[in-house]
Amino acid sequence: MNEINSDMTQEENRSNSSLQINLTKRVAATGIFIAIGVVLAFFNPFAFVEILGGPRIFPMAHFINGMTGVLIGISFACTTSLGIALIRFPLGIGSIHAFHGGISGAFIVGITAYILRKKKPKYVEYAALTDPIGTVFIAATIANFISPVTLFYWWGLFAAASIPGSILGFLMLKLLKRQGISWNDFFQK
């Protein structure tokens, strides 16, 4: 009886240790991606130009959304997006629209990646291409409530940032996968 209990305890310890390692990796990756997002914001040629209604086009936010949604999951991708927006906004290189623009895209990418991990794990990287769905249709609609111009105006602006950013994120995920880095590194069992 004691042998069975000790085997179960060792298995539970291994499982808990694996969960802690995965959590630590995701937290560290979140911090790194927030730092990368803020640094890339300073090199964004559109960061210092405010367009009608207040947005600033920042494709690198969607690049990071695609990568984090696939690599580290929904909650950490949304946290990364929120962290980038919280730093960019007071520095004057982001607008109020960075909050809902980034988080909605990260959320959709994260959900799509979660579903693909369960159903078709071979194609998880393609989830990065779903960022424009959340950014354009959800975030741009919210932007129209914040500063009403016209819905198609907002959809166009948010698409101009999210489409190239999500494509870059997808390409980077493919490149990382060739180098042996994938979502499996953050979701080990």
Which pairs count as long-range contacts for 36-39, CB under 8 Å and 24+ apart, including other chains? 36/64, 37/61, 37/64, 37/80, 37/83, 37/84, 37/88, 38/84, 38/87, 38/88, 38/91
What is the per-residue pLDDT across 1-10, written as a single tens digit (0 to 9) for each? 555 555 556 5
What is the per-residue pLDDT across 131-169, written as a single tens digit (0 to 9) for each? 999 999 999 889 888 888 788 888 988 898 899 999 999
User: In this predicted structure, what is the pLDDT of residue 82?
Assistant: 95
